Amino acid sequence: MTVIRLAVLLVALTAAAPLPAETRPPVSQSEISLSFAPVVKAAAPAVVNIYATRVVESRISPFAGDPFFDRLFRDFGATRPEVQNSLGSGVIVSADGLVVSNYHVVDAATEITVVLQDRREYRAEVILADKVNDLAVLRLDGADRLPVLPFRDSDGVEVGDLVLAIGNPFGIGQTVSMGIISALARSSISVGDGHGYFLQTDAAINPGNSGGALVDAAGQLVGINTAILTQSGGSNGVGFAIPSNLVRAVVAQAQAGATRFQRPWAGVSGQGVDGGMAESLGLPVPEGVIFSELHPESPFATAGLRPGDVVVRLDGVPVNSPAEMIFRMSARGVGATLEVDYLRDGAPQVASVSLIAPPDTPARDTRRIGAGSALAGLQIARINPAVIAEYDLPLQAEGVVVTGAEDWAAQAGLRVGDVLLAINGARVMTPDDTERAATERSRNWAIDLIRQGQPLRLRFRI
């Protein structure tokens, strides 16, 4: 009986054992080689080279080349115009000649030439510029029926997805490099005027690739290549791309006639929840963005949120930094409604937030102080939510902000973005107050203000 059982067990184990791998020669071309040539053939014609010319003022010093005086008088002398050329890449996003690229590729350009893969050339002009997101939309003069690169939903991109970077590195001509998506939600690097939100890739990206396409294996646009992390000036396997969902929102506004990208206004201050904060809040894991301040007119305040609330998801997508929040809002656009999941005292809550532009009320009442004043050349405006957003002021700023400083105002040390508090001891809360105080007759002047969050007093004598 025992022998029979052992025999049965041996047969069962033998049947369950894996079969040896089959070895045979490849029988088709697809099994012999893997090629991305069909993807490149479909996508590459929609990626262009951009040549931008700009004129800058360079200073001429009579002491140039002198080993001693050149260092002492490096800022001395007149200026002369100097022509600079830059190169980059772009992506055709509409058949009638709309091209999206990086803002830094075409910034201050006086002449822009766009060259297609088939060597056709077009003059181009910038129709929308967004320095904050480092994006620009160009229109090609006289273009029609051009190849277009379709957008992919960048929220569907995952780490490990295969991608191709197409651009014009070092100006050597259109080049394709392959890699994968290395990380999502990178928001710790600075591009443009602030911290953005990027896809990270190990596909080789070099100078000249800026503004080029990052496409998936189906030839769809997942991002615009914008930056590299490097110490040598070349690709070290860490490149960053602006996600296609934000690019699509910028292009849509350009097609609607906008010249500047209108991003929704959050009207909040906050920070990502770290490990120590999560422990003090009683959260099982660090997640979300905790609000510290809300402007009274913030759409989040209108929806019922308040300081101390932790936003964990927008439209079901996790957010863990202020940059991620701004990205999600910008991709949806003004007029959309977001479903916000947040925690209050550890309890889950849900709210609907209507995305709005920063209110430009009360009226900013822009003024300029004329000649005859010690502050001649000073331009001011009343602070409101739109002004706060435009000049990146503290959320609770109020009163009057400097919007321009020339002539005597510049010599006095005033700068754009200064929030005025008092002039010669007189409190200023409105443009009328400022104009009245600035036209007083006095030889000794003292101006109290807030600059980049710090109190400051300027003193001078005339």
Give the span between the Cα atoms of 151 and 149, in whole angstroms: 7
Q: Is 373 a catalytic residue?
A: no
Best CA proximity match to 129, nearest among 265, 262, 261: 261
Q: Which of 86, 89, 101, 104 is catalytic?
A: 104
Architecture of the domain delimited by 154-255 = Beta Barrel (2.40)
Smallest CA-to-CA distance from 447 within 461, 430, 372 is with: 461
Cα-based distances in Å from 79 to 7, 75, 76, 115, 405: 98, 10, 9, 33, 22
Residue of 101, 130, 134, 373 with catalytic role: 134
Contact 179, 201 (CB under 8 A): yes
Residue 70's pLDDT is what? 54
Per-residue pLDDT, 238: 84
Neighbours of 426 (CB within 10 A): 13
Closest CA relative to residue 177, chosen from 168, 165, 185, 190: 165
Angle, CA 174 vertex, CA 172 and CA 179 arms, to 5°: 110
Residues of the chain with CATH 2.40.10.10: 42-140, 154-255
Reduce the secondary structure of the chain to three states and give it as a string: CHHHHHHHHHHHHHHHCCCCCCCCCCCCHHHHCCCCHHHHHHHHHHEEEEEEEEEEEEECCCCCCCCCHHHHCCCCCCEEEEEEEEEEEEEEEECCCEEEECHHHHCCCCEEEEECCCCCEEEEEEEEEECCCCEEEEEECCCCCCCCCCECCHHHCCCCCEEEEEECHHHCCCEEEEEEEEEEEECCCEECCEECCEEEECCCCCCCCCCCEEEECCCCEEEEEEEECCCCCCCCCCEEEEEHHHHHHHHHHHHCCCCECCCCCCCEEEEECCHHHHHHHCCCCCCCEEEEEECCCCHHHHCCCCCCCEEEEECCEECCCHHHHHHHHHHHCCCCEEEEEEEECCEEEEEEEECCCCCCCCCCCCEECCCCCCCCCEEEEECCHHHHHHHCCCCCCCCEEEEEECHHHHHCCCCCCCEEEEECCEECCCHHHHHHHHCCCCCEEEEEEEECCEEEEEEEEC
| Whole-number pLDDT of residue 85 | 81
pTM: 0.82
CA 158 to chain CA centroid, nearest Å: 21
Residue 118 bears catalytic tag: no
**All CATH 2.30.42.60 domain ranges in the chain, comma separated:** 367-461
Q: Which CATH number, 3.30.70.1520, 1.20.1090.10, 2.30.42.10, 3.30.110.30, labels domain 268-354?
A: 2.30.42.10
Inter-residue contact 214 to 201 (CB < 8 Å) = yes
CATH no. of 42-140:
2.40.10.10
Query: Considering 182, 187, 210, 373, which one is annotated as catalytic?
Result: 210
- Under CATH, to which class is 367-461 assigned? mainly beta
CATH 2.30.42.10 placement within the chain: 268-354
| pLDDT string in tens for the chain (462-residue length) | 444 443 333 333 334 444 454 555 555 655 545 789 999 999 999 999 999 998 766 555 554 555 544 555 555 555 566 777 878 999 999 999 999 999 999 998 999 999 999 999 999 999 999 998 999 999 999 999 999 999 999 999 999 999 999 999 888 888 999 999 999 877 756 554 545 789 999 998 888 889 999 999 999 999 999 988 766 656 666 889 999 999 999 999 999 999 999 999 999 999 999 999 999 999 999 999 999 999 999 999 999 999 999 999 999 999 999 989 999 999 999 999 999 999 999 999 999 999 999 999 999 999 999 988 999 999 999 999 999 999 999 999 999 999 999 999 999 999 999 999 999 999 999 999 999 999 998 999 999 999 999 999 999 998
Tokens standing for residue 13? 């184990």
Is 89 catalytic? The answer is no
